[in-house]
Amino acid sequence: MTRWRLTIEYDGTPFMGWQRQEHGPSVQQTLEEAIHRMTGELAAVHAAGRTDAGVHALAMSAHVEIAKTLTEHRLREGLNALVRPHPVSILAVAKVADDWHARFLCIGRRYLYRILDRRAPPALDAGRVWHVAVPLDAEAMQQGAAHLIGRHDFTTFRSAQCQSDSPVKTLDRLDVRRVDEEIHVEAAARSFLHHQVRSMVGCLALVGRDQWQADDMRKALEARDRSALGFNAPPHGLYFVEAIYPEVGANR
């Protein structure tokens, strides 16, 4: 039995999320079915994070155990052939130790949120950015984001369905910058609450539209109350960027 690490890129648009669901397709199901077709084995694929419906990944890290003898090249190429026509790509595969775990050994996760703030809607990036038809003030958004850095009770920015034992998380980074016609929000932490990034971005967009002041981010945080939230940004602008591990550094 060999444990393999997979680095996976996917467009989340047609999926109900990473995790297997009874009511629709998932990235996990797509990969597990491809592995079954390739090896005849019913293998479970475990990821560093569980992205929601519509959320994308640039380099999700996962692991799977396979009994059949395979080379790295054959596993990667075989899976990429078998996941078609789903928008999933295996970027890299590597053998890892039997106790290596994509989720439990992960010490950091990074996300990117893309906002297109122009009047004209996207044609090429439809479903891959959040379109806001008015200009946003990136500097004001950055000022608001600064209030959330550090260790806090993020109850306000937590989904009612969140299964985390505690709402307390340490947010290492929350940067807002303009990239041409887009606003990019980059978030980094050891782990995140369910909907935390989308909730933070939704409120930052209110700051960018001058509907909130930067200090309102602090007030929302300190309220520790979901009713103090502005709103959630939609899932299709969110990307899982990388998972970080102590022995190998960044995933990509």
What would the pLDDT profile of 82-126 be if each residue is shown by its tens digit? Answer: 999 999 999 999 999 999 999 999 999 999 999 999 999 999 999
Q: What is the pLDDT of residue 22?
A: 84
Q: Is 165 a catalytic residue?
A: no
Name the residue type at position 196.
Q
Q: What fold is seen in the domain 108-244?
A: Alpha-Beta Plaits (3.30.70)
Number of Cβ within 10 Å of residue 174's Cβ equals 25
DSSP 56: E
Q: What is the pLDDT of residue 161?
A: 80
Q: What is the pLDDT of residue 251?
A: 42
Domain segments of the chain as ranges:
2-105, 108-244
Q: What is the pLDDT of residue 247?
A: 67
Fold identical between 2-105 and 108-244?
yes
pLDDT band at 252 (very low <50, low <70, confident <90, very high): very low
What would the pLDDT profile of 183-232 be if each residue is shown by its tens digit? Answer: 999 999 999 999 999 999 999 999 999 999 999 999 999 999 999 998 89
Does 7 have pLDDT greater than 90?
Answer: yes
Q: What is the pTM of this model?
A: 0.94
Choose, from 11, 52, 165, 216, the residue flagged as catalytic: 52
What would the pLDDT profile of 23-76 be if each residue is shown by its tens digit? Answer: 899 999 999 999 999 999 999 999 999 999 999 999 999 999 999 999 999 999
Q: What span, in angstroms and rounded, lies between the C-alpha atoms of 47 and 17?
A: 12
What would the pLDDT profile of 157-172 be if each residue is shown by its tens digit? Answer: 998 888 788 999 999 9
What residues contact residue 48 under an 8 Å CB cut-off, 6+ apart? 60, 61, 62, 102, 103, 106, 109, 243, 251
Q: Which residues of 30-57 are buried (b: 16+ CB within 10 A; e: fewer)?
A: bbbebbeebbeeebebebbbbbbbbbbb
CATH class of 2-105: alpha beta
Q: What is the pLDDT of residue 163?
A: 75
Q: What is the pLDDT of residue 160?
A: 81
